Structures are given as C-alpha cells and as structure tokens.
A and B are shown apart, each in its own frame.
Chain A
Amino acid sequence: MGVDFTSAEHLPKVRAGGEAADPAELPRQRRGITPQMHGRYPDYDVLEQARHWDDATRKVVLGRVEQVPEIRFFSPREAASLKELCDLLTAQDAEPRIPVLNYVDEKYLRGRLDGFQFADMPDDRDTWRAVARGLDEQAHSRAEAPSFAAAPPEVRLAIVSDFAGGRLEGGAWSELNVKRAFSVVMRAVLESFYSHPWAWNEIGFGGPAYPRGYSRFGSPHLQGAEREPWEGVEAYDEDPVSQDREAPPS
C-alpha cells in the first residue's frame, strides 16, 4: 500500500470529479493517534516530543488532550445536533474522534470571542444557538426527523452542504446571514480541530518548537526541506521503519 505524494493526484481540485481521494487508501496510523487513524505520517507522534517543549506550552497542549472539557455552554439538545455538524464538517466518521464541540463549548463558556461581529449578524454565541435550531428545523421539514442528529445520514449531509453554500432560509436561518454564519462556525471548528495534537500527527506538523527550534529547514539549493531527525516521514511505498529516523524513546 502507498501513495506517491510527489504527484498531486489525491487532491480534490486535481482529481476528476473534484472529490478527495478515499483516506482509507492511506496506511493506518501505527504510532500515536490520528483522527480515524489515517496515517499519512504513520510513524510520527508529535506527543513523543512533549518533553522538549517549554512548561507553559506543554501545560496548554497536553491539557487539551488529557482534560477534555465537558459540554456546559450548549444545551443537550443543541449539543446533539452541533456535535453531528462538527463531525461532518471535519469528516470524522469513526473513532478516534477529536471532540471538536467540547472545545467550541469551552471557548464560548469562557467568553473567548474573536474580536469582531458582522453588523448583520448576532453575537457568535447566539449564531451557534441559531444554527442548532436551524439544523433541527431543516431535519424536520426534509425528513420529519425529531432533530438533525436523528435524521438519515444523506439528509444531514445535504443540509450541511446547503449550509456551506449559503442556501438555507426560513426559520432560524432568517436571523442570520447564512454564508457568514458558516464562516463563524468554521472558524471555531477549525481552531478546535487543528489545535489538537492528533491532527498535527495527521498532517505531519512539527508542533511546538521552543526552546529547541529548528536547525534543518532546507535551502533554495536543496530539493525539499531537510528533516529534523524526529520529524515524521510521509507514507511512501517504502517501509518507513527501514528509513533513517530517531530511535523511539523508551
């Protein structure tokens, strides 16, 4: 198994039909965790580097993984629909999942707003609640489902697709500029998902790098970046275990 990543054939805009390649074609993650265990860097676990991070950063990043906040800002009904929304927006269709909504909930519980509100929109916190109501309304009108979470998968996907395209109206959606509401939701979702070390494992990001820093970042004369010994290797056709890499810490 393996994909040639020198080619861009796996990318949605390059592929005929415009859809992403099936991530099941990737190896399974062998070391550490990625969301759904997709292993583009199957033997790279950024958390193994935590001992090299400064104390303040380690506390923040490990806290994110080890102390998942409980849902307290959203009501149980809102949370059920919004959790489903977050999973669809981040294509999390199996365990292990990054608990995106838990981080979003904590952000708003603590009033950590982003510093701006569109003049034709409510407060971000009210936007999220209206989106939860609007999703349930759509599920009811399209499939007579009691809630978005209870609607059939194809109905849920169609609703989210229309949300992304700004094509929803009526009910709760009339309180919102739908395209902007989607950007408000995505801003918090992406911040939550891509601040999680499991997502860093998936994309091969080096993570926090203080006080160690980087000494090998390539040069215009090299074909590609030099790699620190601890950085992940992409899952090419070769067996990565035979490649040059740091011995695993005991």
Chain B
Amino acid sequence: MTPIGGLVKGVTRMPRDNDSAWLLHPHRRGLQNLDRMRRYSEREEVDIVIVGAGAGGLTLAQRLARAGWRIVILEKGPFWDPDRDWVSDEAGSHGIYWTDKRIIGGSDPIEMGKNNSGVGVGGSMTHFAGYVPRLHPSDFEVRTRDGVAVDWPISYQELRASFERVERELPVSGQDWPWGDPHTYSHSPHPISAAAGVAWRGAEDCGIEMRVGPVAITNGAFGNRPHCIYRGFCLQGCKVNAKASPLITHLPDAIEHGAEVRADAMALRVEIDESSGPCTGVTYVQAGREHFQPAAAVAVCGYAIETPRLLLSSTSRRFPNGLANNEDQVGRYVMVQGATQVAARFPIDLRMYKAPPPEVSSEQFYETDESRGFARGFSIQTVSPLPIGWAEQVQAEGHWGADLREYMRDYNHWTVLGVLCELMPRPENRVTLADEKDQYGQPVARFDYSLCENDHRNIAFATAKMREIWEHAGAQDTLQIDRYAHLVGGARMGFSPEDSVVDRNHVAWGVPNLLIADGSVLPTEGAANPALVIMALADRLAGLLREKRIDSSAGARRRATVGAG
C-alpha cells in the first residue's frame, strides 16, 4: 500500500472492477437492474451453476461474470428488496434467518437460526454485525507454529491481495490495524458511542489496546450507497444500504455482466455422470416443481451446514455415501467460535441501541501465548443487543419474572463486550443427515458439537479478560451469557483426499468440475469473523479460474485439469 493510499480515504478509492455501488439507486434499496437480468434456458448448459447466493457464491459470480462466464445462481430463499421486505424490528426480521429445522446434538449443542444462519439472496451477511477483520498470517500454519489442528494448503501471502481487493469493495472503515499483518483501511473509522467508549476506557486502564473497526459499513457516501445512519439494526438487515452484504456489493455488477439468480430455488442434488465421474448440473425445486440445470461446472456455496447436507444427499453408484465423500470427510471439522458475552452496568445512561453494534475491537490476545495454558487465542469486540437480545442475555443467568423485568428496565445503563475464541477443528464435530425430512423431502441436517479442553481454557481465559476490563471501567454489576457464533468448516481444504474434501484450489477430490467456495472450506477459523475470508477465498478462486489455472469450465464434460496454482 502506498503512503498516499493510507492517507487518502473515502470515495476517491472506488474499486476498479466492480460497479455494484453505482448500480444501486441513490434513494431506493433493492436492485435496480433486475429487469435486465439475463435468463438461461434449462436446455442449455451454462458454464457454472453456483448453489447459494451468499458471501462466497456472489463474490465468485461477480468475478466470473466479468470474465464472460455464463452463470446461474440457485438460492433457497427469497430475492430481498430491503425497502419492502426488511423492517427495523427484531421479531419482524424472522424471515431473514434460515429457520428450517436442524437437529443439534453433542455435549455443547449449537443454536442455529438467527444466531448464525441466513437465507435469501445475500446470505448470512445480510444479518452479520459488520466486523470484517482479516485472518492473521499465523492462522495458515497453526500446526507448524503451535502444534495444533492443521496447516492450510495455502498461505496468508496467497490471500493477501484478495483481502485488499475485497476490503476496498465493501468498503471497510477502521483505524490503521496493528495486529497480524499490519494494514490500513480505505475508509476512516466511525465515531464511537458512549457505550463503546466505556469499554475503551476500561481496556486502556488494564493495558489492553482497542481499535475502532474494522467494519464493512460506509463512513461517507460510496457510489450510490449512503452514509450509515447509526440506527443499530445491523443484525436485522441494513435498510440503509450502508452495511455491506453481497446483495449490494457484488450482485448488481454480476447481473450487469450476465449472471442469473434463481431465488426460492432449493438445490436437492448435484448430479454426476456415472460413467466418467464429473458433475453434470444441479437438480433443484422451485415453486413445487423439480428442475435440472445442466452446467460444465458446479460451485457449492451453501455454508457449513447446507454444503455438507447437499453433498451427503447427492448419492450415486460412484459416491454411495454422498458426493466427494468416499473418504468420509464431508461434514467433519465444523467449527464455531466461543462467543461469551459479558454485560456491564454503569451509573450513566449509555443507550447501546444507538450506533452499529460492532464498534471497537482488540486482537491483542489473538496469538498463542504459552503462559496462558492453551493454544491460539481470541479477539474482543463490542456487541450491542437490542431488547430481545438483551432479554436473552439476562435470562442466561437464570433470571425470570420480577428479576428479569428489573434487569430489562435497566437496559439503558448497560453495555456489552463479546469475545471470539478460536476453537479447534475436531472430526466428530460434524454434519450428518437425520431421519426427519423437510418440506422438500430432503433429510434434515443434524449437527453435533462438543468442546475440547483447549476450547474450555480459551473461553475461560477470554471471559476473565472481559471481566477485568469491566472491573477497570468501574462496572456496578455484570451479566454473562455463554454462547457460540459463526459456522465454518465441514468441507475443508487440505493436502489429500484422506484429510479433506477439496484441494488448495477448492476442487473436490475425485470430482474435477465440482468446486466448493464458502466458509465450509476453512481448515481453521482464527479468532476473526468469517465474512471477509470467505469473500477473499472466492476472489482467489475466481482468479485461478480466470487464469485457467483450474480448467473446469472449458467445454462440456471435459475433465478439469488442475494447474500448479
């Protein structure tokens, strides 16, 4: 990054190869170029079918559409129009979460739904808080450095340019970042609220450095996207177009370059050619009718639960246990982050419902420190629950009735910190198919999750750090909720078919034209929110495909040749 790049902020640094921000309407939300969206016939083979219109799928689509690929994107949920479909209301936002049933088991079952699963065009980023930290260089080699989990088959350096490109497109607002690979952001940090200010002062007092951001929320106009209005409903879908999601950051440009999105279309099976092995397209159901879209390549981008579920449901003679699952790797190593929150009470009113929930964060404890008694680390971030979220925080300590009402009435005096603890990938933390069927006749996913000793120690240490911050800030009372955030893994990238589902270039072992490009490919998760790395991985994959270093699109049924990459 040049010195000028670090000094000049805002609209002077628009992305060069993505016009999405200009394709939006300055006053209306929703996409304005849908009437021009290309429609492909089910009788013609397209270059690629992408399953899942989220962070991975839409970033990949935008890049490949620019390169002239003929693309159909299948999305289970609706095509959102934020003006019409989204509301400034917690309960009223039920529809933006994936709320079809999933069975949760293990010793530490993970709550799904609004906690970690989106649905509809834009994916889970429509309701993510907005934090977009990078992974650290160390995340790619934790086996070598720390003797835990696995190394990635790619390095930080191979992903660095992708991080930078995506950060400029979102765009990211934040202070210069001192941790990991130090870097700057293209937009200035947002002002912070009184609620975040209290956390900042407490952290400072006990020697913990915080920084403002990094958040994918406009600070100043960006193309036709306006400045954030600080209304606090980031987790309910941004009606302002200020917070980034691929619905507004990548899809408008993808459509302009010929990509088609089929919404309300649930993929049932990736089909293969039983005689020769490659996949031939995707069978899906739309409006109660089954369809088949032929394609030269298929990219599965359904995230950590739905990607394994689709592969496991796609059985054939060649893959009797599910597509690309002959080594029993599909669905394994699913990870969440330990996301305990500690709330603190102060004499002054703080009104944490104002300003975006993500404000300031620290990665001071991100790396391994052997004196702490566990490997890897955690980050600390502000979170600002709205009333229903606040009620869940109060209830977590067992309060109900009059006690609960009293803590609820005290809402405006409270502020909340959360951590993201890096938890270890474990083969038994996996997605399988349950006996129960959903409305499409597909088996429901079952997700079992159990913590290991390193995880317990990490979470306990991180929680104590939050309590230390609040003590130094002068908190009068605290409330704690033990919870988990985010989902990654389930179809990880690795070095061989025995240890992973895809290779370093996202190609499924044994199925040369099947790609996986979402959070499920992450071998480890770091202590960073996953949105940015998912987009960055899709950007890197698109680059490899455009340079024909993975040749999975060149002609029907042709066996792809994987380049040196």
Contacts and interface: CB of A to CB of B under 8 A. Distances in A.
Given A116-B104, A195-B90, A210-B88, A6 B351 contact: no
A115 B197 CA distance: 35
Given A190-B391, A195-B89, A210-B88, A164 B233 contact: no
A20 interface: yes
Interface stretch (A75-83, A129-137, A142-150, A201-209): A201-209
Interface residues of A, number: 77
Given A119-B104, A213-B230, A11 B446 contact: no
B347 A115 contact: no
B353 interface: yes
B102 A115 contact: yes
Contacts of B114: 114-115
B159 to A, nearest CB: 31
Contacts of B109: 116, 118-119
Contacts of B446: 119
B354 to A, nearest CB: 4
B87 A208 contact: yes
A11 B403 CA distance: 8
A116 B111 contact: yes
| Residue in B87, B98, B99 with the greatest tally of chain A CB atoms within 10 Å | B87
A116 B113 contact: yes
Nearest to B444: A117
Contacts of A223: 348
Interface in A161-216: 164-165, 186-187, 190-195, 199-200, 202-216
Nearest to A40: B409
A91 interface: yes
Contacts of B347: 5-8
Contact of A56 (B85, B113, B196): B85
A7 B103 CA distance: 44
A164 to B, nearest CB: 6
Contact of B193 (A199, A212, A218): A218
Nearest to A112: B94
Nearest to A204: B412
B80 to A, nearest CB: 12
Nearest to A209: B231
B391 A209 contact: no
Contact of B99 (A56, A113, A202, A204): A113
A192 B351 CA distance: 22
A166 B99 CA distance: 27
A61 B89 contact: yes
Interface in B90-114: 90-92, 94, 97-105, 109-114
A8 B477 contact: yes
Contacts of B263: none
A192 B103 CA distance: 24
A172 B350 CA distance: 44
A214 B354 contact: yes
A203 B353 CA distance: 12
Contact of B477 (A13, A226, A234): A13
Contacts of B83: 54, 56
Contacts of A11: 345, 406-407, 410, 476-477
A214 B194 CA distance: 13
Interface in B108-140: 109-114, 117
Contacts of A225: 193-195, 348-351, 354, 412
Interface string B394-409: 0100111111111111
Contacts of B194: 217-220, 222, 224-226
B391 A194 contact: yes
B406 A113 contact: no
B387 A200 contact: yes
A89 interface: yes
A214 B476 contact: no
A132 B197 CA distance: 46
A115 B98 contact: yes
Given A90-B401, A115-B113, A118-B105, A202 B229 contact: no
A64 B84 CA distance: 18
Contacts of B104: 116-119
B386 interface: yes
| Residue in B194, B196, B392 with the greatest tally of chain A CB atoms within 10 Å | B194
Contacts of B229: 209-214
A48 interface: no
Contacts of B200: 220
B86 interface: yes
Contacts of B105: 118-120
Given A90-B401, A194-B391, A60 B355 contact: no
A164 B100 contact: no
Nearest to B201: A220
Contacts of B84: 56
A230 interface: no
Contacts of B192: 219-220
B504 to A, nearest CB: 33
27 contacts: A11-B345, A23-B405, A23-B409, A89-B400, A90-B404, A90-B405, A113-B99, A116-B101, A116-B103, A116-B111, A119-B103, A120-B105, A187-B392, A190-B391, A194-B388, A195-B388, A202-B405, A203-B410, A204-B412, A205-B386, A206-B351, A213-B229, A213-B240, A218-B194, A219-B193, A224-B350, A225-B351
Interface of A: 5-8, 10-14, 19-21, 23, 38, 40, 53-54, 56-57, 60-61, 64, 88-91, 112-120, 123, 160, 164-165, 186-187, 190-195, 199-200, 202-227, 231, 234
- Interface pairs A-B: 3 shortest CB-CB: A213-B229, A115-B113, A218-B194
Given A191-B388, A207-B88, 4 more contacts: A116-B102, A195-B90, A203-B410, A210-B239
